[in-house]
C-alpha cells in the first residue's frame, strides 16, 4: 500500500511540474475596485487559487462540524461524570461488604 501511495504522489508531482513548466507565461491580475496590477506566472495563479479554495473548503467543513464537536464534548463530559459516579458507588459497596469467612470446619479440611 505504501508503494502505491508513493507512486500516486510521484505521478501527481510529475504532472504538477509539467504543468508549471508548460505555463510559465506571465498573466496580469487586477482586482477591480483596487488600483493594483500584478503580473504572475499562470501556474502560480493556478496554485494560489487552489490553495485559497482548499482553505475556504476546509474552513467551511470545520464550521459545519461545530454541532457534532459540541455534542461529542457534551457526551464526553457525561461519560466522565458517570464513570466517577460508578467508581464512587463501587467503593461504597466494597466498604460496606463485610469480610465473610468461608473456611471449612476443622474436621472437613483436607491436607
Per-residue pLDDT at 20: 87
Per-residue pLDDT at 7: 96
Grid cell at residue 53: 479554495
Return the ∠ at Cα 21 (arms to 16 and 24), rounded to 5°: 115
Per-residue pLDDT at 104: 59
pTM, to two decimals:
0.60
Q: Using CA atoms, how far apart are residues 46 and 17, in angstroms rounded to an integer? A: 13
Q: Using CA atoms, how far apart are residues 27 and 35, in angstroms rounded to an integer? A: 16
Which residues in the chain show pLDDT less than 50? none
Per-residue pLDDT at 111: 52
Per-residue pLDDT at 32: 84
Amino acid at each position: 500500500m505504501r508503494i502505491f501511495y508513493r507512486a500516486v504522489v510521484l505521478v501527481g508531482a510529475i504532472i504538477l511540474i509539467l504543468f508549471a513548466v508548460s505555463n510559465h507565461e506571465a498573466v496580469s491580475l487586477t482586482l477591480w475596485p483596487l488600483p493594483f496590477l500584478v503580473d504572475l506566472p499562470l501556474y502560480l495563479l493556478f496554485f494560489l487559487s487552489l490553495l485559497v479554495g482548499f482553505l475556504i473548503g476546509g474552513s467551511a467543513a470545520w464550521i459545519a462540524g461545530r454541532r457534532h464537536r459540541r455534542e461529542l464534548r457534551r457526551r464526553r463530559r457525561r461519560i466522565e461524570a458517570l464513570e466517577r459516579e460508578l467508581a464512587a458507588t463501587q467503593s461504597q459497596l466494597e466498604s460496606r461488604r463485610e469480610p465473610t469467612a468461608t473456611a471449612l470446619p476443622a474436621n472437613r479440611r483436607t491436607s
